Amino acid sequence: MNHFQRKKGVLHAERISLEALAEAHGTPLYVYSTATLTRHWKVLHRSLAGIDHVVCYAVKANSNLAVLSLFARLGSGFDIVSGGELYRVLKAGGDPGKVVFSGVGKRDDEIAFALESGVRVLNVESAPELARVSIVARRMGVRAPIALRVNPDVDPKTHPYISTGLRENKFGVSIAEARRLYALAATDPALEIRGIACHIGSQITDLRPFLDAIARVRALAKDLATQGIRLGHLDVGGGLGITYRDEEPPHPDAYGAAIKKALTGWDGEVFLEPGRVLVGNAGVLVTRVLYVKKSGRKTFVVVDAAMNDLVRPSYYGAYHGIELAGAPRKDARELVCDVVGPICESSDFLAQKRRLPEPRPGDLLVVRSAGAYGFAMSSNYNARPRAAEVLVDGDRALVARKRETYADLVRGEQPLPEPGAVHR
């Protein structure tokens, strides 16, 4: 369920029409819905009622401060993968005690920042990283709270670029190596073993792989307990898929119920790291049609959003629903077209061979399901200022991020000094 619905034929974000938002804030424009974000978070949280759990929102999916602070107010924890994401969470008023720090390549300064900030746990992904965390903690005179991210070697049956829990992926350590590293960590006074983590991939539409992963991780936890290594929490990662087109992912209620069942008898805490399921369908990208270009038998609808704004179609071949923001014209005929941006790459498209009512220049198109990995993966390629982001709440719209200006594009850069001038 989301709060982007048509009223009298016109698409609205909650109580404001997307046309009015585009008029006020320009295009391309990311629009998020407070009611949808809140609803998604609460549904997932409630699906785990009865077990001691923390929903740690995966910041990478959408790291806008307004979105983070909304989740922080709901009581959310956060899954971060960089010092920058930790900075954002703290700026948004997030509780560092509910932050889990994942990622295969944490630098010393990031480890130190996390320890100083008092994050709940560092999810360690390799033997050399475990050694680094220990060194940094010792240097700071603290004990580092750690979990090992185990790679349970299950196939999540998703796009290879977003599958992470197979042996050939770079993430986590094997179950055998985890045994060895837990034993090592248990003897290291600079490390405090807190729990165990796994994450097998993203946009997963079947419960089976999640349950297989949990079963394998639990078996390991049980083994460790017999060696006197007690784990206080089990982090099941994120990865629950959403409907972009016709996928039928499990409802969060079913997901929560299945997790609870798989964790029957587990007496520690449970952490979740959901990203896409919370924010994906809580956001859209609004873009204006510039030209309708006929080229041989093909029709290109050229819009003002491009792969720098939303890279998922070009990068993963991802499908995003596209529709007109306004009421469809009665005389409009259907068209099969490629919706493309202005960037100088043939891979710059938002949709290919898409059936749409023929748009006219000036019309607004709405790209659906753009709340996750949309703005977060945007860039300035082709020197395009990044889009603005607004967060709608009922009939109010907060500018969550201003549109970038040309001056923003060159912030921190400088041309060569005048010939003969002293270098600074």
Q: Which residues have a catalytic role annotated? A: 344
Residue nearer to ligand LLP on the CB measure, 77 or 274? 274
202 in contact with ligand LLP (CB under 6 A): yes
Residue nearer to ligand LLP on the CB measure, 81 or 185? 81
59 in contact with ligand LLP (CB under 6 A): no
**Nearest-approach distance from CB 49 to ligand LLP, in angstroms:** 20
| Binding positions for ligand LLP, 261-280, rule CB under 6 A | 273-277
> From the list 83, 237, 326, 371, which residue makes contact with ligand LLP (rule: CB under 6 A)?
237
Q: Which of 300, 291, 287 is nearest to 364 (CA)?
A: 287
312 in contact with ligand LLP (CB under 6 A): yes
SS3 content of the chain, % helix, strand, coil (to 5): 35, 25, 40
Contact string 162-191 vs ligand LLP (x = CB under 6 A) = x-x---------------------------
Residue nearer to ligand LLP on the CB measure, 17 or 82? 82
**Nearest-approach distance from CB 241 to ligand LLP, in angstroms:** 7
281 in contact with ligand LLP (CB under 6 A): no
Name the residue type at position 174. S
Q: Which residue has the tokens 């005179």?
A: 141
Look up residue 142 and give its two tokens.
């603290």
**Nearest-approach distance from CB 292 to ligand LLP, in angstroms:** 28
Look up residue 34 and give its two tokens.
């407070």
**169 in Cβ contact with 149 (< 8 Å):** no
Look up residue 269 and give its two tokens.
């805490």
> From the list 4, 182, 266, 373, which residue makes contact with ligand LLP (rule: CB under 6 A)?
373
**Nearest-approach distance from CB 174 to ligand LLP, in angstroms:** 17
If one counts every other C-beta atom within 10 angstroms of the C-beta of residue 73, the result is 12
> From the list 28, 83, 238, 252, which residue makes contact with ligand LLP (rule: CB under 6 A)?
238
* Beta-ladder partners of 295: 298
**Nearest-approach distance from CB 314 to ligand LLP, in angstroms:** 11
Contacts of 24 (CB under 8 A, 6+ apart): 397
- Find the part of the chain contacting ligand LLP (CB under 6 A) among 34-42, 198-206, 401-409, 410-418: 198-206
The phi-psi region of residue 354 (left if phi > 0; otherwise alpha if psi is between -120 and 50; otherwise beta) is beta
Structural element, H or E, at residue 73: helix 65-74
275 in a labelled binding site? yes
CB-closest chain residue to ligand LLP: 275
- Number of C-alpha atoms within 13 angstroms, CB side, residue 251? 7
87 in a labelled binding site? no
* Whole-angstrom distance, CA of residue 207 vs CA of residue 205: 7
> From the list 3, 88, 199, 320, which residue makes contact with ligand LLP (rule: CB under 6 A)?
199
203 in contact with ligand LLP (CB under 6 A): yes
> From the list 79, 125, 188, 348, which residue makes contact with ligand LLP (rule: CB under 6 A)?
79
239 in contact with ligand LLP (CB under 6 A): yes
* Whole-angstrom distance, CA of residue 32 vs CA of residue 64: 10
* Whole-angstrom distance, CA of residue 144 vs CA of residue 137: 6
Please state, in angstroms and as integers, the Cα–Cα distance from residue 64 to each residue in 81, 215, 334, 389, following that order.
15, 35, 37, 8
Beta strands in 20-155 (DSSP E): 29-33, 53-58, 77-80, 99-101, 121-124, 144-149
Return binding residues for pyridoxal 5'-phosphate. 239, 273-276, 373
Where along the sequence are the contacts to ligand LLP (CB under 6 A)?
58, 61, 79, 102, 162, 164, 199, 202-203, 237-240, 273-277, 312, 316, 372-373
Return binding residues for substrate. 276, 312, 316, 345, 373
